[in-house]
Amino acid sequence: MNLGGIGNLMKNAGKIQEMMKQNQEELANTVVTGESGGGDVTVEMNAKYHTKSIVIADSILKEDKAVVEELVCAAVNDALRKVEGVTKEKMTGLGDMFGVDIPNDII
């Protein structure tokens, strides 16, 4: 972040805080779906990392327990990647509005 970026942050701190709050509310209401096994296992998660539902097709339940566990983990990880993408997109857009780069490690 350069000095001009810091100046923009300071000048717009109130606006940024309000927009961050709005983004957090929008993220709480944003739901992504992760899946595995060709859609036989799905996980719905909001963008605040709260799992809303896990659905496992009946046909998968006939599989070995380890297979089911692996598919659930894969679907959760898919949902997590999608949440990270949505969050990064929102935060990058906020930084762009104020002419500052938001480092990836805080997104």
Confidence (pLDDT) at 15:
78
Percent of the chain with pLDDT over 90: 53
Confidence (pLDDT) at 22:
86
Whole-number Å distance between alpha carbons of 92 and 99: 10
Confidence (pLDDT) at 5:
61
pLDDT lower than 50: segments of the chain: 1
Confidence (pLDDT) at 71:
98
Listed in sequence order, the residues at least 6 apart from 102 whose beta carbon sits closer than 8 Å to its beta carbon are 91, 92, 94, 95
Contact of 28 with 48, CB cutoff 8 Å: yes
pTM as predicted: 0.74
- State CA 75 to chain mean position distance: 14
In the numeric block, which tokens belong to residue 13?
A: 């701190």
